[in-house]
Structure 1
Amino acid sequence: MELNIQDIMKRLPHRYPMLLVDRVIEMIPGKSIVAIKNVSINEPFFNGHFPHFPVMPGVLIVEALAQSAALFSFIDDGNLGKIDINTAYYLVGIDETRFRRPVVPGDQLRLEVDAERLSRSICKYKARALVDSKIVAETKLMCAIRKLDN
């Protein structure tokens, strides 16, 4: 199963400059996802991180992995409905995170996320980001699902 940017925007509430997933190239609902983030010199964070040697902040690589996880966690039997605006998906834990090499303009991040545990309230994942088949970051993520009080 693949998703283009329009499909992604139907399923994630994030928008520029915080939408960090450009395309999904492989997805097994409730199990795993492979997504792509194209890193451009036009990203707003490169102005200050760093002007003399632009590097994508590690926290944004982790955020891209968390957004990828959100894309496949709530899809059952291929039902690709829109996001529930009364539900929030929060990143609540980051463990065993390592950054192996810098990500720079022109790189294409391959975001690979596998579900370790999915429930109605807490989800756990093992994730890694690669550039040119080399691991640039890896982490374990924990996310909470909460109904919003209106």
Structure 2
Amino acid sequence: MPDSFKHKIAPYQLAADEEYMNEAQEAHFRHLLETWRQVLIDEVARTVHHMQDDATHFPDPNDRASQEEEFALELRARDRERKLVKKIDESLKQIDDEEYGYCQSCGVEIGLRRLEARPTATKCIDCKTLDEIREKQMG
């Protein structure tokens, strides 16, 4: 999540004896995810306009190659963002289904601090760490 975006929405302030993933927490994370989604969609639109506006047919092959490389980098970034929008949509569906905030592997609470840092997290830190260890062993 971009740092500039993180500062726009304050972290959730947990009250004493507050139940995990109550309506207020769900509303907070829904707002966080929806805002982040909109930022990404706006960025994609800006890229499309930039590429349309800046598309120049340079006679110099070096200038043309530089522009093509710049566009390729932007398109790769937008592809990552498109995949991230899909993850955000999946997280929003989990909120709708009252499954958000729980590990998809073991079922325990992911935790508010982890979700603030990574709102699309689907695994608790222990299961995620085990996955990474397995990936290293296989890769």
TM-score normalised by the chain length of structure 1: 0.32
Which structure has greater helix proportion? 2
Q: Which is greater in Rg? A: 2
Which structure has greater strand proportion? 1
